[in-house]
Amino acid sequence: MTEREYVSLVERMKDRMFRLARRILCDGVQAEDLIQDVFEKLWVRREELSAMDNEEAFMYVTVRNRCLDRLRSKKTRDYPIEAATQKVAGEGSAGEYSDIKNHIEVLISRLPEKQRTVIHLRDIEGESTERIAQITGSEETAVRMTLSRARKTVREQLMKIMDHGTI
């Protein structure tokens, strides 16, 4: 892979990689740090990248694996909800939409990591189930099932919040 090809690939993928890291770690600062690290590793391994059939999926996989390593190293699989709530509350702007956004952020952060990853890749990045299956190392039917569980959980909980008039 030439330097130009590498730069083009990174330009194409950087935002998506950052968003995935941010979603899995539930922390923008940690995501920045992790992505920096991933870019450096990928730069050293750029020859391997060019030999791959699907380099974009590989980049997603690399980000996810690094995130999982980081979560494991903290001996916690899921991000503390209280911390997530504080973070998103601090990021939002005033108004009704900001409240809804904060609630959705927290609801997604409460999902198990796999559901969080699948819902992110599908509903935010618009990836196909085939590619999500490649990234998560699952079958497509399993991806659909995980996606369904995640969507139902978030939808039902959001419905309860909105019905109770807290928003």
Partner 1 sequence: MERYNEEKIRELAGKWSEGETSLEEERLLAESLRDPDLPADLRPVAALFGFYAQQRTVMCPEAVLSTHNRKRLSGSRILKRLSITALTAAAAIGLIITVKNKPTQVDVPTLTVGEIYYGYDFGRLIWGQSENRPVYGYLNGEPLENPRMAEAYLIDALAVFGENLNRSTDFIGPLEEVRKSFDIVMKIFEYAEEKPSKP
Smallest gap from residue 143 Cβ to partner 1 (A):
8
The residues binding partner 1 (CB under 8 A) are: 7, 10, 14-15, 17-19, 22, 32, 35-36, 39-40, 43-44, 47, 97, 100-101, 104, 123-126, 128, 143-148, 151-152, 154-155, 158-159, 162
Q: 53-60 contacts: CB < 8 A, separation 24 or more?
A: 54/131, 54/134, 55/9, 56/9, 56/12, 56/13, 57/131, 57/134, 57/135, 59/9, 59/13, 59/17, 60/16, 60/17, 60/20, 60/121, 60/135
- Residues 121, 135 contacting (CB under 8 angstroms): yes
The nearer residue to partner 1, 50 or 128, going by C-beta atoms, is 128
**For partner 1, which is the closer residue by CB, 4 or 75?**
4
Q: How far is the CB of 152 from partner 1 (least distance, A)?
A: 5
Q: How far is the CB of 127 from partner 1 (least distance, A)?
A: 9
Residue 101 or 114 having the CB closest to partner 1: 101
Q: Looking at beta carbons only, is 40 or 69 nearer to partner 1? A: 40
Nearer to partner 1, 51 or 76 (CB): 51
Write down the least CB distance from residue 71 to partner 1, Å: 20
In SS3 terms, 60-121 reads as: HHHHHHHHHHHHHHCCCCCCCHHHHHHHHHHHCCCCHHHHHHHHHHHHHHCCCHHHHHHHHH
Whether the Cβ atoms of residue 63 and residue 138 lie closer than 8 Å to each other: no
Q: Smallest distance, Å, CB 52 to partner 1? A: 18
